[in-house]
Amino acid sequence: MPELPEVETVKRDLIQYLPGQCIDVVRILDARVIRGIPPKKFAEELKGKTFKDISRRGKAIICKLDDGQHLIVQLMMTGQLVHAASLSKSPLKETKVIFELSNGSYLNYNDQRLFGRLSLIQKLEDFKHFAILGPEPFDASFNPKFIKESLKRRSVAVKSALMDHTFVAGIGNIYASEILFRSRINPRRRANRLKSDEIKCMHKMTLEVLDEAIRYRGSSMRNYRDGQGQKGQFNQRIKVYAREHEPCVCCHKPIIKIVQGGRSTFFCKNCQH
């Protein structure tokens, strides 16, 4: 799914279109994406509400409504939140929910695999997922000291730790591999065995990779699209993810792929120690 850079890109797109728009109609084409509330009630509750603000926490998009409620969208693996000026004549097969807005435009929720979820909650504190989420990478609280302290008790591979959202929010499979490549750290290293200078470097590279990915509007492996339905441009800057057998940009030895915690990891054995 979209990881932090992709979700941040979608958020920045939608913030240009949604605030001030009233939801006239909610059309639910597949009710399985609606969570924690009966779909009919979901549609009724949202009808007539106006978007006040759009924000992001981890990989979730938060739409604040004028009545104080929050529409939370988790895109998961294949979700897309796309704004469209007009309704497509033949709606995509993946379109699961259509929000008709007061200015005649539309917000479509598309999702091929139906892992994504739309929730409607009163208070953000009530949302269970946020309660367990670690700090935002760009937050000052996410710093080398915090990382060192958090990883002290974790014997898992550092790649798995980076992807653990209770440790730090927003990092998924693509960016975990990219961050470790730039940090020259072997993804198999145990998290609690990293030296202080390696932690400092990993922290710096986390911010560098995520910031660069946001500037390039994210990566599109298969399904990701931004708020306007366009692909991200970070793909050509990806150094290791999904590049098995390709030469490493530094030493030209082949990139290798391993499986950690059931997920693919890509790295250079020669450059990452």
Partner DNA sequence: AGGTCGACCTGGCAGC
Partner DNA sequence: TGCTGCCAGGTCGACC
Pick one of 61, 174, 179, 180: the residue that binds DNA (CB under 7 A). 174
| Shortest Å distance, C-beta 93 to DNA | 5
178 forms part of the interface with DNA (CB under 7 A):
no
Binder of DNA out of 20, 38, 55, 128 (CB under 7 A): 128
153 or 273, CB closer to DNA? Answer: 153
Find the binding residues for DNA in span 144-173 (CB under 7 A).
153-156, 160, 163, 165, 172-173
219 binds DNA (CB under 7 A): yes
Cβ closest to DNA, residue 187 vs residue 232? 232
Active-site residues, by number, are 2-3, 59, 263
The residue within the footprint of DNA, chosen from 20, 32, 104, 246 (CB under 7 A), is 32
CA dihedral 122, 65, 142, 165 (to 10 degrees): 60
Provide the pairing of β-strand 117-121 with 95-101.
Answer: unpaired
Of 36 and 144, nearer to DNA (C-beta) is 36
Pick the binder of DNA from 129, 148, 184, 188 (CB under 7 A).
129
Q: How far is the CB of 253 from DNA (least distance, A)?
A: 21
Place of tokens 């959202």: 165
Identify which of 122, 109, 114 has the alpha carbon closest to the alpha carbon of residue 37: 122
For the CB of residue 92, give the shortest distance to DNA in the complex, in Å.
10
Closest CA to 224 of 72, 77, 73, 4: 77
Short-list 162, 121, 102, CA closest to 37 = 121
Kindly report the backbone phi and psi dihedral angles of residue 235, in degrees, each rounded to the nearest multiple of 5, phi listed first. -50, -45
Rounded least distance, CB 172 to DNA, Å: 2
In terms of residues, how long is the chain? 273
Smallest gap from residue 219 Cβ to DNA (A): 6
- Convert residues 237-266 into a mask of x (bound to DNA by CB under 7 A) and - (unbound): ------------------------xxxx--
User: How many other C-beta atoms lie within 10 A of the C-beta of residue 194?
Assistant: 20
- Cα 102 to chain centroid distance, Å, stands at 28
- Positions that interact with DNA (CB under 7 A): 1-3, 6, 32, 58-60, 74, 76-78, 93, 112-115, 128-129, 132, 153-156, 160, 163, 165, 172-174, 191, 218-224, 232, 261-264
